[in-house]
Amino acid sequence: MLIYTAIAVPFAFFVMRNYALTLPREVVEAARLDGASWWRVFWQIHVPLTRSAMIAVFVFQFVAVWNDLMFGITMATSRNIRPVMAALADLQGNYSNVGPPVVLAGALLVSLPTLVLFFSAQRFFVSSLRIHR
């Protein structure tokens, strides 16, 4: 988990920072001239404008955590509490007694949450790739 955190946090920061640099400064300056406080500028201007980047980072981080096999294998103390990816890895190998159709069906079921999340957030994900200049 420590290695994942060492990669995930800088990646999220990098994406959010670079996206925030593309936002027009004139919008914030206009809000400040209208008397908006720092919190109001943050919650009513920055958060809505960066929502698509936040959702894109969330999708990337969800997929990374969902597919994390080594953490589940290392930290699970029992077969009853293993994460999905570790259970899927147990279905194949020298000591498994199931065939390839069962493993492929499990892989299909494991990939469904990721696909549902991506297609439900696709509009935000694609809009976060656009530059606002």
Structure confidence at residue 43 (pLDDT):
93
Which residue has better confidence, 33 or 93?
33
Alpha-carbon distance 111 to 117, whole Å? 10
Helix-, strand-, coil-residue percentages of the chain, each rounded to 5: 75, 0, 25
In angstroms, the Cα distances linking 67 to 13, 41, 45, 63, 115 are 21, 37, 34, 6, 13
Residue 9: helix, strand or coil by DSSP?
helix
* Angle ∠(15,21,23) on CA atoms, nearest 5: 110
Whole-model pTM? 0.71
Of the listed ranges 27-31, 33-37, 56-60, 75-79, the least confidently predicted one is 75-79
Structure confidence at residue 30 (pLDDT):
92
Does residue 104 carry a pLDDT above 80? yes
Alpha-carbon distance 16 to 4, whole Å? 18
Using only the alpha carbons of the chain, give its radius of gyration.
Answer: 21
